[in-house]
Chains A and B, each alone.
Chain A
Amino acid sequence: MSLLEATLRAASVLAAFLVLPLLVGQAEHKVMAHMQGRLGPMYAGGFHGWAQLVADGVKFVQKEDITPRAADRWVFRLAPAVALIPYLLAMATIPIHPGVAAVDVPGSLVLVLAATSVGALGTLMAGWASANKYALLGGLRAAAQLVSYELPIVLALASIAMAGGSLSLMALTQAWSPWWLLWQLPGGLVFLVAACAELQRPPFDMPVADAELVMGAWTEYTGLRFAFFLLAEYAGIVVMSLLFAVLWLGGWHGPFEDTLGWLWTLLKGFGVAVLVIWVRVAWPRLREDQLQRLAWLWLVPIALAQLLLTGAGVVMGW
């Protein structure tokens, strides 16, 4: 890979990283508004408020960047980057077109898993370094959530890896067949639920439960650093949605996949993102104990059963 090509790939991933989360964010604005009988942003940019998030970004840039006096300075300042960068890395490995991914490494599935877990560490760092009781509580809740929901995600992905016989996202998507829609369905549902929880999205947003914890680990953040946390959340939705679209919905598989493969991947991913938004609007927040209960009594057993089913299927040669 020449230097030029590497630069090009990096630039395209960065562009996608900056555009796709905004698209999801705007979709959330509009979908959530209409689900509540509202119109959502209508003025920014002229046409149906398409530039609302750009305006929000400009606003965040103008705000003062405050570091609390008692805060652990370096950890506090580093936390948004730790939350944001891993999703950039994860996004780079996702294949969007037959044979096309920004970074195609043999163990990309493991890489994505590791990266998304590091992303949640950013919340932990922020909660610990803020020197604020609400932030600390939020951080601890995030840690508990991370521990409980990493396991179902790993188990669900392990089932896919077994079915496709590879640890590379590219090879797994290549191996996908419509039969997986049924065969891998339980694991897929487990992954969706666990991904929502990992992203700390409603109904699993106890770490930022604003009625209880102000803004959880993000309480002390202002300006651009706060915006980075928000961007990380939406980038996380993009990564998890694309991951689900690629592994469970077949990514580029569809009519004219040699030319339109990228479009199918993006459309499927967007559909999953809309589902994530829909769930946020429709359901209330779980309690902390309900969250743990759901993870350990439902998701982990279902994921284990899926693993068993997949193992049986692979051995029998389904």
Chain B
Amino acid sequence: MHHETTPERAPDPEHERPPEPAPPEHGAGPAAAVLGLQQSHGNAWVARAMQRALMRQPDAEQAARQAFVARGPMPAAAGVDFQSATGRGGFNVRYDPATSEEVITLKVGIDFRDGLSVDPATGVVTPNDPGFAAAAASVTARNPGGTPEAIAARVTEVQTDWAWAAQQRTDWQNDYEALIEGAWGGQHHFTADRWDDVYADVRIDVNVHAGLLAGDHCKATVFKDPPGNRQGPGAAVTSTPGNSTAATGSFRSSDITGTGDYLNYSLQFDNNSADLRTATSTSLEAPGDAGPAHLDKLIVDFQRGTPTGGAPIRITGHASTTGDGDQNLRLSRRRAEAVANYLRTHGDKIAGSRITVEAVGTDGAAADERWRRVDIQIGDGRPQVTMAHETGHMFGLRDEYASPAGGISPGAGTGGGIGTPVGHGALAAAMGGGVQTAVFENNDSIMSVGNVVRPQHYATFLEALNSVTTPERFHYGGAGHSPTAIPDLIGPDVVRPPDATPTGVA
């Protein structure tokens, strides 16, 4: 292995992004549980909790806590439909103190439609949405004319790639439910303002079904297209302020994985060259740019939105296997350094502290020209899963990505100026627990151009929670699930308030 990793050494007055809270670790047994809590919440927190447990008294606070828990599911076992103050989307919410769970239920009705249709007699291909008109022309261009062979080829392609089969509908529904419940559930938890051992973990329950029902929070059209297809109507969610069951959506079946990539870019170099001026972009979203022009776009797009913001940028230099190994390692480094230096010194500049440079020489490479390249990865580099992002709108969130003039996609989408607050920014700022306001910035966050569900993306869940637990309120408690309950070292409470019922009874 010939890896050389060099964090940038250039002084940077800006601060690094503070680390996000680590999920608490769960051990086996009381001692391990206490140790885990000390690691995740600190000694002071554990000391307070232990003191409270050891000195458990039927005082007023204890009685109020037990009365709160005894309220059972809030506001009721069926929950209540809710729409955020953002006026976006809608979902059902309930809080169950017995399980420390806030359950977010999202009902999505789907009108499954084929992306293209074909007349089996004439082979004429018809788009079922204007966004697929070019796709229809593409299919016909591959097999033009009126011969039986051409007609049969078009019929086969449309029926195979652009028409729903019954099993595909079922699979898509199941995949969508699993995607959202996994991507959005359990990422963070909330803690009661009044009692720091009363929590709310967030569980997402997505109910996707074929057909549109009156109580659906979102009524969506999903067009069938082939996996990886990049043309067609853009994914959209339209909301109705004041109505939590009136959002509509328009998606493609390929949105279940997503087909765009705004977190990975590449420049290909000439043979034995590290000259940016003759390099060319092979990036998915902007192929063919000259090297400097491409980097100019990245500098514009990936400015930090806050003094502590800005996604890390990893630059990896490669070389093809042609030529000497050591020389290729040096060449890959020169290529990577050329990119890093450009980002650091041109336009509004990318802060050097955000940049890591790596040279891997010919590791994993072949002799072909594709390996004469530099890869530029933003954040965790996981291309966005479109349906996970769009569902964020159903949860009431707004876009956080920016499309500035001079960037890759100037003016695209609903993004605003980098650094300006987003539509759920005020809600995020009010979450407590150190959560900052949310601003426009291109990074690996779910409502930007990535997949990471960060604390601010739970803003509408907290808003909903506080609406059903009133007058008690919660605040942001940390990443992951709530900590393991303090081990009961002294047995059950001696005195139970007369109006309390056992927890867990609905």
Is the pairing of A and B real? Answer: no
Give the interface of A toward B (CB within 8 A): none
